[in-house]
Homo-oligomer: A and B are copies of this chain.
Amino acid sequence: MKTANIPTSESPADNHLLAALPPDDYGRIKPHLESVSLTLGEVLYESGDRMTHVFFPTTAIISLLYIMENGNTAEIGIAGNNGLIGVALFMGGNTTSNRAVVQSAGRAFRMKPEALREEFKRGGVFQDILLRYTQSLMTQISQTAVCNRLHTVEQQLCRWLLINHDQLPADTLVMTHDLVANMLGVRREGVTLAAGHLQDLGYIKYSRGTVNILDRAGLDAVCCECYQVVADEYDRLLGAYIRKNLVRKGC
C-alpha cells in the first residue's frame, strides 16, 4: 500500500515526461516552466477556447471532458504526472473540443505555446516524447470508446479508480459518487450501487467524498482488460525513455 509522501519542494522531474528528457533538452526547457497550483474543479480550458498554456501535472490530475449539447458529460481522457494537457498546441489546432478540468487538486508546471512550439520544431527527443504521448492518449481515448460500449458500470468504475490511484501518492481519492458519475457519463445511483458492491467485497472503503483503495488486486480482478491495455501501451511507447532516465538518475 502506498503512503502519503507529499514533497516539500517540487521539481519538473516529478512529471514523467519532463523527467525523461536528456539533460540538454531539460536544461533548455526548464526556464520556460512555471509552477502553478491547481484547485479541484478548476477549468484549465473550455471547449473551443484558445489555449494559453500546456500543462505538465506533477501532483494534480486533469480530466478531459466532453460536454454534450444537452449538458451530459463524459470523460474521454485523463492525465496526471505521466502526461500533459494541451496536445492541440503542438498538433496544430490550438483549441480542442473538450473541457480540461482539475479532477484532483495539486500542482503542475505550465509552459507558453510559443516556447513549446519552438522546442517542438527542433525535432529532437522532446518532439518524439510529445508525439509518443499523444499516441498513448489516442489509445486511452480508443479504449474509453470500447469500454463505454462493451463493459459494465462496475468495471468502468474499477478502471477509473485504478487510473487515478496510479497518479496519486496515497491511497485516498477525493471524489463523490456524483462527480464520478459525471466522469463516466452514467447515473449517480449507478455509481452508488457499483461502489457499494466494491465496498462489500472489501476492495474499497468510502464515505462522503473520499475513497480509500484497500485492495488493488481485487479491483484489478473485477476490472475489464481496458486498464491494462492502456497501461501496457503507455509503457511500450514511453517506457524506454522513462526507465533509461531513472537508471541515469540512479533510482
Contacts and interface: CB of A to CB of B under 8 A. Distances in A.
Interface string A114-153: 0000000101000010011011011101111110111000
> What is the predominant secondary structure among interface residues of chain A facing chain B?
helix
Given A139-B97, A150-B74, A185-B146, A131 B236 contact: no
29 contacts: A66-B145, A68-B150, A69-B225, A74-B145, A90-B131, A91-B132, A91-B135, A92-B128, A92-B237, A93-B135, A93-B236, A93-B237, A96-B135, A97-B229, A98-B142, A121-B123, A123-B123, A134-B134, A134-B138, A138-B138, A138-B141, A141-B141, A141-B142, A142-B145, A145-B148, A146-B148, A148-B148, A149-B185, A150-B185
Contacts of A185: 146, 149-150
A87 B237 CA distance: 14
A91 B139 contact: no
Contacts of A29: none
Given A93-B237, A97-B229, A88 B135 contact: yes
Contact of A149 (B121, B142, B148): B148
A39 interface: no
A72 B128 CA distance: 33
A90 B142 CA distance: 19
A239 to B, nearest CB: 12
A236 B131 CA distance: 21
A91 B146 contact: no
Contacts of A102: none
A92 B132 contact: yes
Q: Which of A87, A121, A134 has the most CB of B within 10 A?
A: A134
B135 A141 contact: no
A146 B93 contact: no
A137 to B, nearest CB: 7
Contact of A135 (B87, B128, B145, B186): B87
